[in-house]
Chains A and B, each alone.
Chain A
Amino acid sequence: MTTTTSTTVKEFRLPDLGEGLTESEIVQWHVGEGDTVELNQIIADVETAKAVVELPSPYAGTVLRLHEAAGTVVDVGAPIVSFEVAGEPGKTPTTTPSVPPASAPETASDEVAAPPDGDTDAAPAKREPNLVGYGAALEKSGRPQRRSRAHQAGTAEATPPPVVKPVEQPAAAASAQAPAERPRSTPPVRKLARDLGIALETLTGSGPGGLIVRDDVLAAADGSPAELSPGQQPAGEPPAGEPPATDTAARQTRTPIRGMRKHTAAAMVASAFTAPHVTEFLTIDVTPTMELLTELKASRAFEGTRVTPLTIVAKALCIAVARNPTVNSSWDEQAQEIVQYADVNLGIAAATPRGLLVPNIRAAQSLSLVDLARSLASLTETARAGKTPPADLTGGTISITNIGVFGIDAGTPILNPGEAAILAMGAVRSTPWEYQGAVALRSVMTLSLSFDHRLVDGEQGSRFLADIGTILRNPAMVLTMV
C-alpha cells in the first residue's frame, strides 16, 4: 500500500434541482455500483416537479453504492449515491459536504430524511427550505400557523418518508363518527385532502391533540385502488425508468401506486363509498341531433369550430339542469347542508398523458353553443397536452364522460367527488329502430346517468335524464323548455 492511494468515501445527497423543490424522482441510473466515473459525468436522470434533468457526478472516483433504486421518489437532502474518491487530503478541498449551499443550522425537529445508517462522512447540515418559493415548507412544520389551540405540543410532526408504502385501512373504513366540529388540521393538510378527495371527517388525527396531519391523509389515500368506470380508464401510466420489481413466483408486475394513479384511486374510493350511486340508462334516437350537427358544420357561424355530439349533449345538459337544479348541487356533510350551485361548472372527463383528469368549463350554462364548442375543444386539447391549469380542475359541479369515443354504449360512471351527477354518453350507432311506425336504420345512443341519491331522488334524476333525451331526440323541443 502506497501512501498516496488513501481513499475517502463521499456521499452525494439529492440537491434541490429547481427552486424550492422538496423531492425528486430518480428516473434512471446511468452508472452502476463499482463503475468508475469522471467529474461531471452524467450519472442519473432525475425528474423534479419542474423538469427532467441530468445529474452530473460531483466527484471523480468509483461508485460505491446507489442508495436509491430507479423509480424512487427521494427527498431533497437524502443520500443517493456514495463514491470512493482517491487522494482525499491532497488536491481538491472536497471536505465541503456535497449538500446544497443554503443549508441552515441544524434544526432537530425538522427531520428531512433519516439517513439509513451511519454516515461515513460527517453528516452535513440538512437543507432547510427558506428561500422564496419554498412553499412546501409548510407541510414540514408543526408550528401553529394561526388560530392555534392551547394544547399544541412542542414537538413538530415528522415529515413522511418519501416512498409511501404501508397499506392502511381504506378511507371508507376509517372511523365514521361525524363530529359537528370541523376536524382539526392545517391548511396545507386540508388542501392535500381536498386534492386527494379524502374527506377529513373520515380520518382520525394522529397529531398532537388529535390534529389530522399529512401522514393521516396520505395513509387514507393509500387505500385500495378504486375500480374505474368504463371509459374513465386513463391512458396507461407505466413508471419511467427500469421495470419495477417482478414477482419471482408468478408472471406479474408490481407497480408502486403513486402520482395520478393514486390520486385517481383515492378520489374514486372517496366518491364511491360516500355517495350512494344510482345509475339510470336511456337509449334514444339521436338522428335529428346528427342532422343538426351536419348543418352546424356547414354554417358560417361555426366555421373553424369543432362541433360534435358532445357539444350538443353539453348544451342539452345545461338546459336540463336549469329545469332540474338539484342535480347541480353538492352534499356538505360537515355543515349538514346542501349546496345548490347557480352556475354549471361542467366537468369533462379526459384521458390525458397524466391519467384521468376532469377539467371543467365555468358557467357553461351562460355560453352560446359556438362558445361552448370552442371551450370544449380548447379544454380537451389543453388536457391532452398535459397543460391543464390546476384552477380548471377544481370547482366542478357536474360532469360528462364521453365513453362513446371508445366505442362503448353504457356504463355506471362514478361521480366526480363532491358532485351530484355524472352523465356518460355512449357511442352513436346506426341501429335498426322504430321510426314512424316502421323499422329504419337510425343513429342511436345510450345515455347513462349516475347521481348521488342523498341529494337527488329518482324522480328528479329521471326527469333530468329524460329532458336531455328529449333535446337529443328532437333539438327543436328546446323551444318548449327554455
Chain B
Amino acid sequence: MAQDDTPRGPETGSGAILPGPPHDGADDPVQLIDQHGVRRPHGHYDELITDVDGAALRKLYEDMVVVRRIDAEATALQRQGELALWPPLLGQEAAQIGSGRALREDDFVFSSYRENAVAYCRGVDLTDLLRVWRGNASSGWDPYSINMATPQVIIGAQTLHATGYAMGILQDGADSVAVTYFGDGATSQGDVNEAMVFAASYQAPVIFFCQNNQWAISEPVGLQAHVPIARRAPGFGIPSVRVDGNDVLACLAVTREALARARSGGGPTFIEAVTYRMGPHTTADDPKRYRDANELEDWTARDPLARVATLLDSLGLLDADYTDSVKATADAIAAELRQGCLSMPEPEPLDVFKHVYSAPNSWLDRQQDHYERYLASFAEASQEGSR
C-alpha cells in the first residue's frame, strides 16, 4: 500500500534516527481517504466506521464546511476591529470534526484556543465562542453546559486538567472519557509530559489528541521532535497512533478506538493527527515571514474538505441541491455569528466581580464596595453606585 502522498511531517522528523521501541501505530499515518478523495481500505480501522454511510459522510462534510465558514467570518470580524484577536483553524477541520464527532455527550473536552470546531461539535453557542476574543468576558461559557472547558491559553496546561478529570472519572466508576487537545509545540511543555506520566500511572481514561500542525507559531515541528511525536507516548507507557489529520474518517476511527479503550478500562491513548495550519498562528501573525510558500501549496493539495468533496462526488452524493444547502447553512451560521458578535452587550464595570467565587466572600465584597463607591464618585457615571 504505497501512499506517497501521505503527510509525514518535515524531513527532520523522518524517524530514521532511532530504530528504537516501536509504538503501537506505524510512522505512516492511518489514512482512510487519501488526498485524491479515494477511499483506502484499512484492515483494522474500517470496522470502526461501518456505520458511516453516505448520509453520515455528508454530515461530516457539512460540519467541516460550516466550521471553515465560522473561522473565515471570525477572521473577517477581527480585521474589521470587532474582535481583538482570532486563532484560525483553517486546515485542521478534519482533525477536529473527526475527533469531535466521535465523542459522547458525557465525555469532557479540555482544549487549547484553536479547537473552535470541537466546540462547535459540543454545541457551543456561537456568541460564546467570541466573547473572550472580543474582550467582553474573561470566559466564554459554563463548561458543564456543553462538557467542554473554556479554551486554555497557557500552552499544554489543559492536559493536566484532563488527566485530573479522568482520575475523577475513575473515582466515580463512570465510563466517560476526558479528551485533551493540544498542538505539536505543547508536547515540549512540562505540563504535557507530567500529564502523561499521571495518566499512565493511574491508567486514567484520557485521550491526548495532538494536532501536529507542523508549526509552533514560527518554529517548525522538526526542531522540537526528531522522531514522530507519537513515538514519545510509548515511553510513558501510553499506546499511540499517528493519523492523517486531514482525513476526517481516519480521525473519527482512531478517536473511536481510543474512546473504546478508555471506556473499557484500557487507560490513556495518544493520538498524533498530522495536519497543517494553513493560516497564521493568530490574526496578529504573518506566516509568510517564516514559512516557505511551497509548503502551503503542498498542503493545499491535501485539503481536508476537498478530498471528502471528491469522494462524495464519486459516490454521486455531491449534487447541487446538497452543496447549495450546505452553503446556505454555513452562510446562515456565519450571519448568526456576526450578529451575535455585534450585538454583544458591553460588560459593566462591576461584572469583573462576577464568577470569581461561587460562595460569598467578604474580601471580595469589600473590594466591590470600594469600587462601587469609586465609580459613584464620577458624578456623571454613578448609575452603578446605587445599593
Contact = CB atoms under 8 A, between A and B. Distances in A.
Is the A/B pair a real complex?
A: yes
Interface of A: 12-19, 40, 50-58, 92-94, 96, 98-102, 105, 131
Interface of B: 72-73, 76, 78-85, 134-136, 280, 282-286, 288-289, 338-339, 342-343, 381
Contact of A101 (B73, B134, B289): B134
Contact of B79 (A13, A19, A54, A105): A54
A58 B135 contact: no
Count chain A CB atoms within 10 A of each CB in B83, B289, B342, B343 and give the residue with the most.
Answer: B342
A404 B17 CA distance: 46
A402 to B, nearest CB: 27
Given A18-B284, A51-B286, A101 B343 contact: no
A50 B286 contact: yes
A467 to B, nearest CB: 43
Contacts of A51: 280, 284-286, 288-289
A19 B85 CA distance: 7
A40 B285 CA distance: 20
Contacts of B338: 92
B343 A56 contact: no
Given A17-B283, A51-B285, A93-B342, A99 B81 contact: yes
B80 A50 contact: no
B191 to A, nearest CB: 21
A50 B284 contact: yes
Contacts of A54: 79
B79 A56 contact: yes
Contacts of B81: 13-16, 58, 98-101
A99 B342 CA distance: 11
What 10 A-B pairs have minimum CB-CB distances, sorted nearest first?
Answer: A15-B81, A51-B286, A18-B284, A58-B80, A56-B76, A102-B135, A101-B134, A19-B284, A100-B81, A93-B343
A94 B77 CA distance: 13
A128 to B, nearest CB: 12
7 contacts: A17-B283, A19-B85, A50-B284, A55-B79, A55-B80, A57-B80, A96-B342
Contacts of B73: 40
B284 A101 contact: no
B83 to A, nearest CB: 7
B83 A101 contact: yes
Contacts of B343: 93, 96
A92 B339 contact: yes
B308 to A, nearest CB: 25
Nearest to A96: B342
A426 B284 CA distance: 44
Given A51-B285, A92-B342, A101 B82 contact: yes
B294 to A, nearest CB: 17
A14 B338 CA distance: 19
Contact of A93 (B79, B280, B339): B339
Nearest to B381: A105
Contacts of A93: 339, 342-343
Nearest to B81: A15
Contacts of B78: 15, 17
A18 B84 CA distance: 8
A52 B72 CA distance: 17
A240 to B, nearest CB: 15
Nearest to B349: A105
Contacts of B135: 101-102, 131
Count chain A CB atoms within 10 A of each CB in B76, B280, B289, B338 and give the residue with the most.
Answer: B76
Contacts of A94: 342
B336 to A, nearest CB: 12
Contacts of B280: 51
A102 B79 contact: no
Contact of A100 (B72, B84, B286): B84
B285 A50 contact: yes
Contact of B84 (A12, A58, A101): A101
Contacts of A96: 342-343
B286 A19 contact: no
Nearest to B135: A102
A246 B84 CA distance: 38
A137 B85 CA distance: 19
A416 to B, nearest CB: 27
A53 to B, nearest CB: 6
A140 B136 CA distance: 25
B182 to A, nearest CB: 22
B131 to A, nearest CB: 10
Given A51-B286, A56-B80, 16 more contacts: A12-B80, A15-B78, A15-B79, A15-B82, A17-B78, A40-B73, A40-B76, A50-B286, A51-B288, A53-B283, A56-B79, A92-B338, A93-B342, A96-B342, A96-B343, A101-B82
Nearest to B133: A101
Contacts of B339: 92-93
A50 B283 CA distance: 10
Contact of B286 (A16, A52, A92): A52
Contacts of A52: 286
A24 to B, nearest CB: 11
A41 to B, nearest CB: 10
A15 B283 CA distance: 12
A102 B84 contact: yes
Contacts of A17: 78-79, 283-284
Nearest to A21: B284
B220 to A, nearest CB: 16
A16 B84 CA distance: 7
A89 to B, nearest CB: 14
Contacts of B82: 15, 58, 98, 100-101
Contacts of B286: 50-53
A92 B285 CA distance: 30
Nearest to B80: A58
Count chain A CB atoms within 10 A of each CB in B80, B84, B284 and give the residue with the most.
Answer: B80
Contacts of B282: 19
A55 B78 CA distance: 9
A406 B381 CA distance: 67
A55 B77 CA distance: 10
Contacts of A18: 283-284
B224 to A, nearest CB: 21
Count chain A CB atoms within 10 A of each CB in B78, B79, B85, B289 and give the residue with the most.
Answer: B79
